[in-house]
Structure 1
Amino acid sequence: MSTTTLTGFPTLQPGQGPVLGEHYLPSRADEVRWGWLPNAESSPVLGVADGATVTIDTLSHEGLLGDQGRDPARYIRQFGDVDVLDDAIEIAASGLVNTAEDGPHVVTGPIAVAGARPGDVLRVDVLDLTYRVPYGFVSNRHGFGALAGEFPEDQDSTPTRHVDAMVSDGTVSHFSWVEARDGYDVGLIDAGSGRTVQFALDPFLGLMGTASATSDPVPSVPPGEHGGNIDIKHAGVGATLFLPVSVDGALFYAGDPHFAQGNGEVALTALEASLRATVRLSVIPAAQLPGVLGGVRTPVVETATHWIPTGMDPDLDEAMRQAVRNAVAFLHGRFGVPRSVALAYLSAAGDFEVSQVVDAVKGVHCLIRKSDWTTWV
């Protein structure tokens, strides 16, 4: 890979470059969690007013993990003369423990939102997502992914690309870089024999959530009613994520930034790459929820064109059933249509997609077209 392919995409180091929000939250080694989520006993690292905007420097874990040497500067620069984020270097060199039993994600937050109380919903409007670096990784690790036991096919970590000499434990990490082509930003992966494969970029945060009402440790990998690692690719710029509030202040957090992901996320990771995210955090009181989410009390994504209820369970069949139940509850509660009509509509016009199958708890989401309900709005 020629380093000239990265021209025109500046590196956004902590505290440098545009900050669009009223508040700014970097990923500091003494504030982030690595592999774990905030819970009811967590202390906020930032407090904001209802409706405030926050710019968060989220950090990808790829290049920091132990099977890549836990030395991001050395690891990433195998692939070219590229800039490495200072916060990645700081966190990898810190005393933060990250073992095979921990989740991989660097989790930034939590942020307390004034006025949020249990029973409310936190509305997260995604206002902006900016590349912090012009590269990322797609990784496949033993015991994980849709084809665990079949992939990685190289059991001994022999580098699959001559420049990737630091991987261990059978991990295969494909370096991807960003280029502007024909007016669009694309990701590229070396496909061998002098060829590359390219694909469209569509960035989003794979992990956004609120603290669970428990004092027990909460792992970062499985998603749930708190949101967390839901990996729904539709939650990009212009989208809104609705999250149940379980503790005072909501305690919002973010991480797992992606430049692109296919539904299913079958290898294990998407194109993992750091993003500067600006979000608006607003509280919807419990009394107002039926007119917004109907009868749903689990994460819901809204875009300009769709409402997207979710379903999550370790069993993919049950995740599908949960998604159908929540889609029925949304339509029945918000629009007052009979539940049997809601189910019939979903069978005729609802699109159910597999969010991901790689995070222990599997995800299914339903795309409900807003245009079908214009006479009800």
Structure 2
Amino acid sequence: MQLLQPREGTVHGDAYLPADLDSIAWGLLPNATSRPVTKVASGSTITIDTVSHEGILEDQGRDPAAFFAASGIPAVLADAAAVARDAVHDPAAQGPHVVTGPIAVAGAQPGDVLEVEILALDRRAPYGVISNRHGKGALPGEYPATPGTVSLVATVEDGRGVLPVGDGRSLRFPLAPFLGIMGVAAATDQPVHSVPPGPHGGNIDVSMLGLGASLYLPVQVPGALFYTGDPHFAMGDGEVALTAFEAPLRATVRLTVHADPAIRALAAALATPFAETATDHLVLGLDRDLDEAVKQATRNALTFLNERHGVPPQVGLAYLSAAADFRISQVVDIVKGVHCCIRKADLP
């Protein structure tokens, strides 16, 4: 079984950050008091190892070797085993996610925008987990039918995800790796729970932010303090069970600070981070109420069209209704997410 262990294999970036115990946090995201584990220049690239929380959590025994052995998987990542064994985690007060970082970016100041370009996403293992926990997900109280957790181990075969049905058959589906958590430190000295996303980014779970995408994060503290985690091999929009195909990735990103007035003004006008792929601009809406998340995504999209392209709001709303897609990012992270997809080819 091929595993991409820490400090082994190809490193694509100018620098490398392993998921060691002194360079990760479990359950809480960086805040204004956090100290960076490394520092990079704006415009440089860095390769970051990420660890999936699935398979190491308390309700899974906090022993990944035993957990995966029960599904016939004989080996696990050394850093995942170390986190499960030695990292401090309080599931009653903290989220489940393991994040690597924070990384200071030289010159970043509040009001600037940090661009995160996704340059490479390498699978670190040929397996992962999809979980449904009682009281959580899109059908809380219905699935699982009784209190507890259902965690299904999925594997990768011939470049596709394989999920056993249980009767000898399997469901096979395409892989589309991405990082569910990418963010900057929030401007607070209070603990920042890893589950709900917000203006700092964090657990936004936008499945379109895979290879070639860029995420734009409004900097809130000096140095930005970027971090990432919650790696996925695949996720359907909505993520209705609670998790998707959670599995570890080695990510290479380029971190660039933008301080020009136009992008600072755009970031200040929007209520959330924004993003782009090769074909689309992505504008987000985030709220505990899904209806309000749609409203925020719509308002942000109107602001984007007006600020960036000079489209009057009444024309912008007509265009959005005729041509843009509003997709549910996720409904399982306390704060629900919607991403509006605006085709670049449509814009003047």
* TM-score, normalised by the number of residues in structure 1: 0.90
Q: 2:11 aligns with which of 19, 32, 35?
A: 19
Write out per-residue CA displacement over residues 132-166 of structure 1, whole angstroms, 9 at most, x where no aligned residue: 0000000000111000010102x2xxxxxxxxxxx
Map residues 157-172 of structure 1 onto 2, 5 A cutoff: 170-172=148-150
Equivalent residue letter for 1:340: Q
Which residue does 1:298 correspond to in 2?
272
Give me the whole-angstrom Cα distance separating, in 2, the residues matched to 1:254 and 1:106: 9
Give me the whole-angstrom Cα distance separating, in 2, the residues matched to 1:286 and 1:217: 31
Q: 1:175 aligns with which of 153, 158, 173?
A: 153
Q: 1:351 aligns with which of 319, 325, 344?
A: 325
Which residue does 1:312 correspond to in 2?
286
Equivalent residue letter for 2:263: L
Give me the whole-angstrom Cα distance separating, in 1, the residues matched to 2:265 and 2:21: 41
Give me the whole-angstrom Cα distance separating, in 2, the residues matched to 1:54 and 1:67: 33
Give me the whole-angstrom Cα distance separating, in 1, the residues matched to 2:265 and 2:281: 13
Give me the whole-angstrom Cα distance separating, in 2, the residues matched to 1:34 and 1:345: 42
Q: 1:60 aligns with which of 52, 60, 66?
A: 52
Which residue does 2:218 correspond to in 1?
244
Give me the whole-angstrom Cα distance separating, in 2, the residues matched to 1:308 and 1:173: 31
Write out per-residue CA displacement over residues 71-98 of structure 1, whole angstroms, 9 at most, x where no aligned residue: 0111111112432000011111104123
2:206 counterpart SS class: coil
1:79 counterpart SS class: coil
Map residues 24-103 of structure 1 onto 2, 5 A cutoff: 24-103=16-95
Give me the whole-angstrom Cα distance separating, in 1, the residues matched to 2:156 and 2:53: 18
Equivalent residue letter for 1:214: T
1:342 counterpart SS class: helix
Q: Aligned pairs, how many?
A: 348
The structure-2 alpha-carbon separation of the partners of 1:231 and 1:319, relative to structure 1 and needing over 3 Å to count, comes to: same
- Residue 200 in 1 paired to residue 174 in 2? yes
- Offset of residue 42 of structure 1: 0.3
Which residue does 1:186 correspond to in 2?
160
- Runs (4+) of structure 1 moved beyond 4 Å? 290-294
CA contact (8 A) 1:98 1:104 kept: no
Write out per-residue CA displacement over residues 8-49 of structure 1, whole angstroms, 9 at most, x where no aligned residue: xx2100000000001111111133111100000100001000
Consecutive unaligned residues of structure 2, counting only runs of 5 or more, are: none
CA contact (8 A) 1:239 1:303 kept: yes
Which residue does 1:268 correspond to in 2?
242
CA contact (8 A) 2:267 2:273 kept: no
Give me the whole-angstrom Cα distance separating, in 2, the residues matched to 1:96 and 1:223: 22
Equivalent residue letter for 1:23: A
Map residues 209-288 of structure 1 onto 2, 5 A cutoff: 209-288=183-262
Write out per-residue CA displacement over residues 220-258 of structure 1, whole angstroms, 9 at most, x where no aligned residue: 000001000000000000000000100000000000000
Q: 2:123 aligns with which of 122, 131, 149?
A: 131
Give me the whole-angstrom Cα distance separating, in 2, the residues matched to 1:98 and 1:91: 13
1:30 counterpart SS class: helix
1:192 counterpart SS class: coil
Consecutive unaligned residues of structure 1, counting only runs of 5 or more, are: 1-5, 156-168
How high is the sequence identity, in percent, across the aligned residues? 58
Give me the whole-angstrom Cα distance separating, in 2, the residues matched to 1:293 and 1:214: 19
* TM-score, normalised by the number of residues in structure 2: 0.97
Which residue does 1:141 correspond to in 2?
133
Q: CA RMSD in A?
A: 1.4
The structure-2 alpha-carbon separation of the partners of 1:286 and 1:318, relative to structure 1 and needing over 3 Å to count, comes to: farther
Give me the whole-angstrom Cα distance separating, in 2, the residues matched to 1:172 and 1:101: 22
